[in-house]
Amino acid sequence: MNAPSLVSHRASAINGSGIRRVFDLGAKLKDPINLSIGQPDFPVPDSIKNAAVKAILSDQNGYTPTRGIKPLLDGIAAHLRSDIGWEVQGESAAADMLVTSGTSGGLVLASMAILNPGDEIIVPDPWFVLYPHLAELCNAKAVICDTYPDFRLTAAKVAPLITEKTKAVILCSPGNPSGVVATPAECAELLALCRSRGVLLISDEIYDEFTFQESMTDRAVGDSSRLRCPSPARNQGSHENCLLIRGFGKSYGVTGWRLGYAAGPKWLVAEMVKLQQYLYVCAPTPLQHGAAAALHEDLSPMVADYQRRRDMVVSRLGRFTEVAFPGGAFYAFVKVPERLGLTASQFFEKAYEANVLIVPGKTFSNRDTHFRLSFATKPDKLNQGLDVLCRLLAGE
């Protein structure tokens, strides 16, 4: 059997994740300083773990309805109602929702629901590693929008790229790999552009809970005392052409649970539910119970701690090079100074030799000029890694 001849064009067009490659390389190092993986380092709150354990021990281990368990759906509906003003429950609800197998699962379902061969989807450069491959999985085309040097996906940058084949635009804010947060005005303008051109706006907000104080400029609909992450979904009528993708893994430290949710136009969610019946069946049952408990947790102490780490990263590395200001998430996208004469991949090798793991920018981009650093690691390790990176950026 000629195995290579059996491999589909879809599979052969996709390379392995550059982040996972770094992860594998790190396994070869002794006690590496790992600044590569976006894995929160705080312990999962006991209430979340206990709820999942209780579900397992009480034999809630079978299938759930495709959309998810009622306690979790009720919790998400209440959160969206207070946070962005969307009604996502009941016959008269303007939007709809479902629980997904991670935010990636939601993105895959949405892409399969809207993309035909030859269709186009606009994604930012730099991108989260899945975005370009969403098109390849559907035999569609990813149209790349260059957002350098400020890493902002604006209506002005997107408008020239929209054609009659464009089905969707993906916005990621807070961004991965940059941590940049879109402003309320940028969100509104991008939504208005998509609405005027009949294009779906997919707002990937997996890091919405990790938005730092200076970027939290929108007040929650149901709580005037609390500032929240800017989102195109906060604009009137947004449910008609905005699909909101959010998750639990990054916010609550349960990345391995693979839980997220999607909310948006009822016609689109209906198609996603239909596809989920065959692709994922349902999200993991006991873990949905844990996620329902997560919605009652206060994350502000963890977010404040990460903001202090962000400040330290920007302050120290900013003495040697350009660092896009991360208004959220837990990444910094750092430019390799031209005076060093190195690509980001070559800089990665030097850091690797010094026992520090980062991710070269070409993993997320058509360019190889920056590297991504994750500050979701213990402060002592972060400080050690910054010592090494500062020395390398200084050319020592």
Q: Which domains does the chain have, with CATH numbers?
A: 3-44+299-393 (3.90.1150.10), 62-294 (3.40.640.10)
Measured CA distances, 112 to 106, 145, 213, 222, 238 (Å): 10, 21, 36, 34, 22
Q: What is the pLDDT of residue 309?
A: 96
Q: What is the pLDDT of residue 21?
A: 66
Q: Can you list the residues of the chain whose pLDDT is less than 50?
A: 224-225
How many helices and strands, by DSSP H and E, does the chain display? 15, 14
Calculate Rg over the CA atoms of the chain: 21
Say if residues 256 and 291 touch (Cβ distance below 8 Å): no
Determine how many CB atoms are found less than 10 A away from the CB of residue 3. Answer: 6
C-alpha triplet 360, 327, 214: angle, nearest 5°: 165
Distance of alpha carbon 182 from alpha carbon 173, whole angstroms: 6
Q: What is the b/e burial string over 356-392, where b = at least 16 CB atoms within 10 angstroms of the residue's CB?
A: bbbbbbbbbbeebbbbbbbbbbeeebbebbbebbeeb
Cis peptide leading into residue 132 (ω within 30°): no
Which of helix, strand or coil describes residue 201?
strand
Non-local CB neighbours of 63 within 8 Å, separated by 6+ positions: 281, 282, 285
Q: What is the pLDDT of residue 225?
A: 47
Distance of alpha carbon 37 from alpha carbon 298, whole angstroms: 24
Say if residues 360 and 18 touch (Cβ distance below 8 Å): yes
Nearest partner of 233 among 176, 271, 269, 191, judged by Cα: 191
Say if residues 132 and 172 touch (Cβ distance below 8 Å): no
Q: What is the pLDDT of residue 11?
A: 79
Give the pairing of strands 120-125 and 166-172. parallel
Q: What is the pLDDT of residue 27?
A: 64
Q: What is the b/e burial string over 170-208, where b = at least 16 CB atoms within 10 angstroms of the residue's CB?
A: bbbbbbbbbbbbbbeebbbbbbebbbeeebbbbbbbbbb
Say if residues 129 and 19 touch (Cβ distance below 8 Å): yes
**Displacement of CA 7 from its chain's centroid (Å):** 29
Non-local CB neighbours of 178 within 8 Å, separated by 6+ positions: 126, 151, 324, 326, 331, 333
Which residues are registered as beta bridge partners of 334? 323, 371
Nearest partner of 179 among 323, 279, 292, 339, judged by Cα: 323
Non-local CB neighbours of 16 within 8 Å, separated by 6+ positions: none
Say if residues 126 and 333 touch (Cβ distance below 8 Å): yes
* Residue type at position 121: I
